Amino acid sequence: MRSSLPSFEPGASGPDVFFLAADVGGTHARVGLGRTVQAASGDSPVELLHGEVFACAQWPGLGELLADFVARLADTPWGAEVSIQACVLACAGYVQEDQVVNRNLPWPVSISALRQRLGIERLTVINDFEALAHAVPYVKPWDMRPLMTGDGSAGGLASGTIVVMGPGTGLGCAAVLPGSAGPQVLPTEAAHVSLAPGTAREIDILRLLAGDRDHVPVENALSGPGLLKLYRAISTLRGESPVLDTPAAVTGAALEQRSEAAIEALSTFCALLGSFAADLAALYGAHGGILLAGGILPRIESFLQQSDFKKRFLNKGVLAPFLERVPVHLIDHGDLGVLGAACWLERELRRE
């Protein structure tokens, strides 16, 4: 299954470097053809020419998915002139030797095998939220929907460090640090921080999530699979048998108020998200703000606005006055991961 992203007519300026940029998640992969351009200050240094969205489960491997995208570039306006010189893949997880380590991807990923399959020697893998963070300088105020405006942020982001985070198939997080030579991006594995309950009920939930383990990562609650785990634990605590078997089913039942257990699960999810977002704001000194992305939040936006997210975000004792000044906004992940990966690659090329 494929769906198209917007394509753009070839520009008047000549191409610099053609490349592939992809944002590969556990459910979907967004792939784009781009090129570097001479940009004015504040504008993106890359131009995305063509892109598509793929359902990962319908492909035997990432190599086959990318090869299909490349093969069909012949049908685009750039087919005759494209010579792809580099590729950057934004994936959740981390690189260990030749492998991408991520239990949420539907297939193993070997970097050397991808290079051989695509015939592109310059192929690099970066963290998916590291890529998203590289797109932050090009996020416009009208692309953000305020959850908490903060004091003095003029309805957008403020000056200072910005944290980008979001739940999807997993939980991603990166920080954007201001610097004299331009913003610096710090990728993190914050998803593996221990889950910290904030109420007696959440302590009971944590016991069930832990089972016989002594570590429960926050991702086990703040992700699509985590939402399902919350629902199952809450059903057990309520003395009920869980009947919903997917994160989407839990979300739907909560939004339509068809299941008290689902409503409690989604409410708990939002409350834990508020606590964790505040933890990250405190850890990184996120005076600039928090951007919430990921595949789940756009669907539950209205629910999130009415939840305990704000209450739990500010429930940090003496840090509450600082957190009151931190703007929190929702953004649609969309093509920003592809754009950010492309911007990362352009920056690396410029450094050579």
Please report, for the chain, the start and end positions of each structural domain, with discontinuous segments joined by +.
Answer: 2-135+335-351, 158-326
If we measure between CA atoms, which residue out of 269, 279, 263, 175 comes closest to residue 222?
Answer: 269
pLDDT band at 7 (very low <50, low <70, confident <90, very high): very low
CB neighbours of residue 162 within 10 Å: 29
- State which H helix or E strand residue 208 sits in: helix 200-210
Task: Return the pLDDT at 159.
Answer: 82
pLDDT in tens, 42-65: 577 888 889 999 999 899 999 999
Annotate 16-81 with DSSP letters as a single string: --EEEEEEE-SSEEEEEEEEE----TTS-SEEEEEEEEEEGGGSS-HHHHHHHHHHGGGGSTTTTT
For the ranges 141-145, 306-310, 311-315, which has the lowest average pLDDT?
141-145
Contact 329, 289 (CB under 8 A): yes
Side-chain-side CA neighbours of residue 3 (13 Å): 6
Q: What span, in angstroms and rounded, lies between the C-alpha atoms of 19 and 318? A: 48
pLDDT band at 80 (very low <50, low <70, confident <90, very high): low
CB neighbours of residue 292 within 10 Å: 25
pLDDT band at 95 (very low <50, low <70, confident <90, very high): confident
For residue 11 the two structure tokens come to: 């520009």
Q: What span, in angstroms and rounded, lies between the C-alpha atoms of 264 and 197? A: 15
306-313 mean pLDDT: 97
pLDDT in tens, 261-281: 999 999 999 999 999 999 999
pLDDT of 12 higher than 50? no
pLDDT band at 41 (very low <50, low <70, confident <90, very high): low
Distances (CA, A) of 179 to 92, 173, 182, 186, 209: 26, 19, 5, 12, 40
For residue 45 the two structure tokens come to: 């240094």
Task: Return the pLDDT at 349.
Answer: 84
Q: What span, in angstroms and rounded, lies between the C-alpha atoms of 93 and 194? A: 17
For the ranges 32-46, 49-63, 168-182, which has the lowest average pLDDT?
32-46
For residue 114 the two structure tokens come to: 């991808």
240-247 mean pLDDT: 97
CATH code of domain 2-135+335-351:
3.30.420.40
Work out the burial of residue 249: count CB atoms within 10 Å of its CB; fewer than 13 is exposed, 13-18 middle, 19 or more buried.
Answer: middle
If we measure between CA atoms, which residue out of 49, 54, 68, 58 comes closest to residue 23?
Answer: 54
CATH code of domain 158-326:
3.40.367.20
Question: Which residue(s) pair with 194 in the sheet?
Answer: 217
